[in-house]
Chains A and B, each alone.
Chain A
Amino acid sequence: MNKVLTRVLIIGIAIAFPLAMHALDQQFYTSFATRILIYAMAAASLNLVLGYGGMVSFGHAAFFGAGAYLVGILAAEGITSLWIAWPMAVAVAALAALVIGAISLRTRGVYFIMITLAFAQMIYYIFVSLKAYGGDDGLSLASRSTGLGVSLANDFVWYYLVLVLLMIVLYLLHRLLRSRFGRVIEAIRENETRATAIGYPVYRYKLLCFVISGAIAGLAGALIANQTSYVGPALLHWVQSGTLMVMVILGGVGRFWGGPVGAGVLLALEELFSGSPLLGPYSLHWQLPVGVILLAVVLFAPQGISGAFSKKPQ
């Protein structure tokens, strides 16, 4: 009963938020909230592979950024319809995940971490060298994706579209994790040797998990490209991978809401400390309190924030 109530409450707040912001004449925060929703999707996708799959991938930015860049490149070439661009972003990200995963999953432990990092950096440098599509300076999109009949430049409409997509993704993830696939993945994470002994094709399950995670990250990337109407190499950089990992760990690794909670908290902290009236406009030292809070979470709340609030044992 509690669970249902919480969920209704969350969805209710999410739906009411832009209306409230409009009423308070703070439309800027609607755009900010949309950014949180997009990163929530990206973090949730990483949580799938990191938390549930037990695969510590340090190259997730590659899929996120690849999805974003695909939308950017297509826009530069004149293709702005989301019916073409967004599925392609997902497909390209999934393909990249397939290739990278196929090779990386042959390794283990810290080597897996480093090899995913290596591949992500390779993709980063490839995109940086594409001067036709911005290179180091990035690429501006003339407008948000078209094809829905209503202009997505309207931040209000855009928010709701992203919210709907996020809810669909989270619902699908929920079903996936409850299914046989989800149970096998968790079994593999708990004890890979046992899972192999039982007869599961472990490698294939892990690879599928990796690809699904990459695909969702690609969709999130397509959305972020639209959000800022800009794609830059920073989206592909290892620091971006690190940030996504921080979000997941902060929110709670392997906990369903870990991704969204972590994204929300990190971005909110960033906004609070960097631009709030409390600390003066454009306070440059926002990273200090954020760093301290992160450290505190590590030392005192090892299950992340959603773990600290949940009664379910890990």
Chain B
Amino acid sequence: MKIRYDFVTNSSSTSFVIISDGEFNFKDFIEAVGVKDNSKFVDIYQSLFNAFIDDMEPAREYYEKHYAGTYSTFEEFIEKQLWKSGKEILPKILDAETKGKKVYIGKLSSDHDDIESFFCTDEFIIENEKIFVDAKEDGW
């Protein structure tokens, strides 16, 4: 006999790629997001920044650690694992690496809090001259 005793939930995660010219820091991030310093919503983007920091890993280390057994090269991993924007973002990653920029990959989760859940299910690009964030991989 099987008895359901709680709501059925569906959690998910969304991959992101961050390219940063120098250390990925909050000051540059908030500038790229486009929110004013005195906005009453800065905390929302602080939470997003923290979620990125908590999960991001250098892209090649991330590949070696999690996907080297699945994909034969880093390039194949980017193109196939990032199913929505992989082909588009691969040249950006390779170009960034040749210029000494930092490239990170990680995942946002819908399990943590309502702020991260929203960003996990949203599809967005954050971009300026110092930072590029691609979080378009949501499948919602």
A and B associate in one complex: no
Residues on B lying within 8 angstroms of A by beta carbon are none
